[in-house]
Amino acid sequence: MLAMQVMLDRARFSPGEIDGKSGPNTVRAIEAFERAKGTTAAEAVAAMDGEVTMVYRITAEDEAGPFTVIPEDTMEKAKLTRLSYSSLVEALAERFHASPSLLKRLNPAARFVADETIQVPNVMAQPEPTSGEGVSITVSKQTSALTLTDGTGAVIFHAPVTTGSQHDPLPIGEWTVTAIVRNPTFNYNPDLFWDADPAHAKATLPPGENGPVGLVWIDLSKPHYGIHGSPEPSSVGHTASHGCVRLTNWDATTVAALIAKGAKVTFTE
């Protein structure tokens, strides 16, 4: 299963957080891959170039962080200057699209310190930004998936998403991308959240990997809605959100590199 997830990630049919286990995100990625490629995922794994894992040497810069103890309370988060990773293991796991528990299983004797070599998933590097010309976005509520297609209709990226709840349902319809913001701050307004603490006030939360919208905010023509990253990659595709479309930070970063302002966005049942 680890080899399957790595193959899918490298083919840009993201299984979300790589954990070496079968689950709904991986099953949907396999189905999408096979529809788009006309071959089986098992055949693609057998033909995959390179090893499933690779060696990575932890650097002094990795170990130095910075890392942040993230408070639970939103008002306390607003007092910080950045909502960074909370640990080196978390930072390395996101860099290699993996769960922290998988990194620990791959490296049972590791101390995760500078100059130590560890095994990590051999995943696809982040793409260089493109013009995004002709690329459109479709988000399916039923399959909890986001798909990018080019001008010919070919799928160029697929990833699991979280798309809302009964309190904040996905706004079905057609929208456009109005802005792409990397490393965004988050303007918290408790009036927009049904479950907000009544003692909370409006606040600006700092940027960071563990910010509410992660590393990317893709603003839409629908007010207060966007496509964005997440501080909890393990929850993507599994739990509800407050209406917006949430991806892992690495998948959100990929989407931002492949689209352009003005791109068509379709939300479907």
Is residue 137 a contact partner of residue 263, using CB atoms and an 8 Å limit? Answer: yes
Residue-wise DSSP of 137-189: EEEETTTTEEEEE-TTS-EEEEEE-B---SSS----EEEEEEEEEES--EEE-
pLDDT tens column, 202-217: 889 999 999 999 999 9
Q: Given this model, what pLDDT does residue 8 score?
A: 98
- Dihedral, CA atoms, 207, 26, 174, 35, nearest 10 degrees? 140
**CATH architecture of residue range(s) 136-268:** Beta Barrel (2.40)
Q: Given this model, what pLDDT does residue 66 score?
A: 95
Give the predicted TM-score (pTM) of the model: 0.93
pLDDT tens column, 29-58: 999 999 999 999 999 999 999 999 999 999
Q: Given this model, what pLDDT does residue 166 score?
A: 67
Domain segments of the chain as ranges = 2-46, 53-121, 136-268
Question: For strand 117-121 and strand 53-57, is the pairing parallel, antiparallel, or unpaired?
Answer: antiparallel
pLDDT, block means (10 residues), the chain with 269 residues: 98 98 97 97 95 98 96 94 98 98 98 98 92 96 96 97 80 96 90 68 93 97 94 86 85 98 97
Q: Which residue has the tokens 């990773």?
A: 85
Q: Is the dihedral of CA 183, 184, 185, 189 positive or negative?
A: negative
